[in-house]
Each structure stands twice: as C-alpha cells, then as structure tokens.
Amino acid sequence: MSNLLQPHSVADSERYLALARDVLDIEADAVRGLKARLGEAFLRAHRLMLDTKGRVVVTGMGKSGHIGRKIASTLASTGTPAFFMHPGEASHGDLGMITAADVVLAISYSGESDEIARILPLIKRRGAKVVAITGRAQSTLATEADVHLDAAVDKEACPLNLAPTASTTATLALGDALALALLDARGFGSDDFAMHHPAGALGRRLLVHVSDIMRKGAQLPKNAPGDALLPDAILMMSSKGIGMTCVVDADDRVLGIFTDGDLRRTLEKHENVRTVRVGDVMTRQPKTIAADRLAAEAAAMMQAGRIGGRLVVTTADNTLLGVVTFNDLLAAGVV
C-alpha cells in the first residue's frame, strides 16, 4: 500500500501529463471533425427517428455497445422512446423486441461486426429502418443501412492506436447531437424532462408545488383578530418556531403578518409592548403565493425580494392556507 502513495518522479509526471493532454486534444479534434460531415444524412436519420411510430432500438457490440447504451438512455430521457438491444442476444430471441415501426440505430466502427451482420437481414425483413454509425463508409453495415452516419476519426487516442477511444467519443457525441436535435423538434421542455427524472434535482424543482411543502393546520402560526395584543402574537411566534405569525380576520382572510423584524422595530418604539395591538405594528399586504404554484417560484420570489425567507400561501380571495419558508424549500430539495 505504501508504494501506491509514492509520488511520481518529475520525469514521469511530465510524461503522464503530456500523454493525458494529447488524449484530450485527439478526442476533441475527433469530435470537431464531425461538424464538417454533418449534412443530408444526419437530417435523414433525424427524420426517420422523429417520424417513427415505434421506438429507436440501439445496438452495438463491445465498446460500441457501451456507447450505444448511453445513447439509448439519452434518447429516452429527452423524449425519444428508445432502448438498447444486445446484438449477441438478438439471435437468441431478443430480435422479437423489434417491430416494423421501429428504427434500429446500429453502431460498429468497423461496420463489419459479426453479431450485427448476422441480424441485419432479419431486421430489414421485419421492415424496420436502419441507421448506421460507422467509421467506414464502404463497410457492410454502412452500405446496407437506410442511412449511414460517418463517425470516422483520423486516429485513436490510444498510443498504440488500438483501443477505441477517439472513435467512441466521436460516436457518443454524434448520438448526443441526434438526441438533442430530436428534443428540439419535439418541443421537449424542462417540464417534460422533469417528468422523465422525478427523482432528480430538476424533477424536485419542477414537480413540487407549494401545497406539497407548506405549513398548514397545527403547524400554521396565526392570530385573530387584528386587535389582539402583541404578547399573544409573540407567544404564537415562539410556539411555531418560524419567526412570524399571520394576522387574520374572523373569516381567515389575511390582514398582515407580524415577524421577528417587526418585533425588533416595535421594541425600539414602545417601552411597554403588552398594551400594543398587533394590528398596529404588523406588516400589511405581505407577499403571498397560491398553493398550486411551483415551489421553485416561491424560491425565486424569496431570492428576488427582501421577504425574510417566508411566504404566505392564500386563495384568490386572500384566505389563509399556509406558510412556506426557505427552510421548507431546502428540505424539499428545491433550492
């Protein structure tokens, strides 16, 4: 274990860093090289995937398969129904996953993968369209596909020019380009993305409503009516622990709020607060939000204005429903 912690020599450090920088340069050049080759073939592939009544079935062997799984996942999460099919398993029953309505995205840098070559005639017999991503325009897969996308690279980033590195990076980038062009064509927005990622941070921000996290019922601090004495309001603030209380009329309509800031200002002006009425020192017309609004909107309101990290939740006729605090938003993962 101690040997693993030994620092590199200066010469080794320089060599490894130079190699790593070369890898990044080669792979970046491979991706940039795709730009000049994007054209009619890309648009045909895009149209096939956009118009399909089925799914996009991604397939590939070895490293191309790993890249294919990522492309299928990206397509599915951005509005294009897709899944990955292992070409080796396809000959043992998984070919039944493919229907005539589907588009098959077949990935093979050589274009001669045996596993894909064996199932290609069967895919076409089913009536599914085939989009191929290869590095060889004259390969079997490229010539037999309905559309061929050229992902050729000048060289691999591997010093031996053997391990798929620049070619897999280029293929992945080309898959991302397809997925995001499809996203745009479908009008797929942030709300749609959140629906596909309900457990993620974006899903929490876009799917959580104020009503889901607001304090209500026994948690809700309120005093009525506005002529109540200040000690009652202070007691309510202390019992609920959010540094404020809502002041309402007999019908629960909001008259104002009394906050810890109002309390400090009142103490500065009055020697005896026991006889002060809360209605005389409260903050009138506080910022409010509707219960059906997104919690992200409540966060934006708090961040945009000096409102003490608390918002009153009301109906359209100003009836009190609850209170949402910045801490509530934090606990819900909205901010």
Q: What is the tens place of the pLDDT at every residue in 267-282?
A: 988 888 888 999 899 9
The C-alpha atoms of residue 162 and residue 327 are separated, in whole angstroms, by 54
The first and second tokens of residue 20, run together, are: 């790593």
Q: What are the tens digits of pLDDT across the range 19-38?
A: 999 999 999 999 999 999 99
Sign, Cα dihedral of 14, 20, 26, 29: negative
Please name which of 68, 56, 69 lies closest in space to residue 101, comparing C-alpha atoms: 56
| Confidence band for 206, pLDDT divided at 50, 70 and 90 | low
Sign, Cα dihedral of 63, 65, 69, 75: positive
The C-alpha atoms of residue 21 and residue 322 are separated, in whole angstroms, by 56
The C-alpha atoms of residue 115 and residue 59 are separated, in whole angstroms, by 10
**Average pLDDT of 168-173?**
97
Percent of the chain beyond pLDDT 70?
A: 93
In this structure, the chain runs to a length of 335
Q: Is the pLDDT of residue 190 over 70?
A: no
Q: What are the tens digits of pLDDT across the range 220-244?
A: 998 887 678 889 989 998 898 898 9
Q: Which of 1-10, 58-67, 77-86, 283-292 shows the lowest mean pLDDT across its residues?
A: 1-10
Look-up: residue for tokens 């070559």? 117
Q: What are the tens digits of pLDDT across the range 106-162?
A: 999 999 999 999 999 999 999 999 999 999 999 999 999 999 999 999 999 988 888
User: 103 pairs with which residues across the strands?
Assistant: 56, 129
Q: Which long-range contacts (CB under 8 A, 24 or more apart) does 267-275 make?
A: 273/230, 273/231, 274/229, 274/230, 274/231, 275/229
| Confidence band for 202, pLDDT divided at 50, 70 and 90 | low
The C-alpha atoms of residue 20 and residue 16 are separated, in whole angstroms, by 6
Q: Is the pLDDT of residue 313 over 90?
A: yes
Domain with CATH 3.10.580.10 in the chain: 210-331
Class of domain 2-188: alpha beta
For the chain, the maximum distance between any two Cα atoms, rounded to a whole number of angstroms, is 93
Q: Is the pLDDT of residue 201 over 60?
A: no
Q: Beta strand 244-248 with 254-259: parallel, antiparallel or unpaired?
A: antiparallel
**Average pLDDT of 90-119?**
94
What is the rounded average pLDDT for all residues in the chain? 90
In the prediction, which pLDDT does 1 show? 46
The C-alpha atoms of residue 128 and residue 102 are separated, in whole angstroms, by 5
| Confidence band for 303, pLDDT divided at 50, 70 and 90 | confident
Domain 210-331 falls under CATH 3.10.580.10: yes
Domain with CATH 3.40.50.10490 in the chain: 2-188
In the prediction, which pLDDT does 2 show? 52
Looking at residue 309, its amino acid is G
Q: Is the pLDDT of residue 207 over 70?
A: yes
In the prediction, which pLDDT does 7 show? 85
Q: Between the CA of residue 299 and those of 191, 194, 296, 331, 333, what are the distances in Å?
A: 17, 17, 5, 12, 11
Its pTM stands at 0.67
Strand order in the sheet with 320-325: 288-289, 310-314, 320-325
Looking at residue 281, its amino acid is V
Q: Is the pLDDT of residue 3 over 60?
A: no
3-state secondary structure the chain: CHHHHCCCCHHHHHHHHHHHHHHHHHHHHHHHHHHCCCCHHHHHHHHHHHHCCCCEEEEECCHHHHHHHHHHHHHHHCCCCEEECCHHHHCCCHHHHCCCCCEEEEECCCCCCHHHHHHHHHHHHHCCEEEEEECCCCCHHHHHCCEEEECCCCCCCCCCCCCCCHHHHHHHHHHHHHHHHHHHHHCCCHHHHHHHCCCCHHHHHHHCEHHHHCECHHHCCEECCCCCEHHHHHHHHHHHCCCEEEEECCCCEEEEEEEHHHHHHHHHHCCCHHHCEHHHHCEECCCEECCCCEHHHHHHHHHHCCCCCEEEEECCCCEEEEEEEHHHHHHCCCC
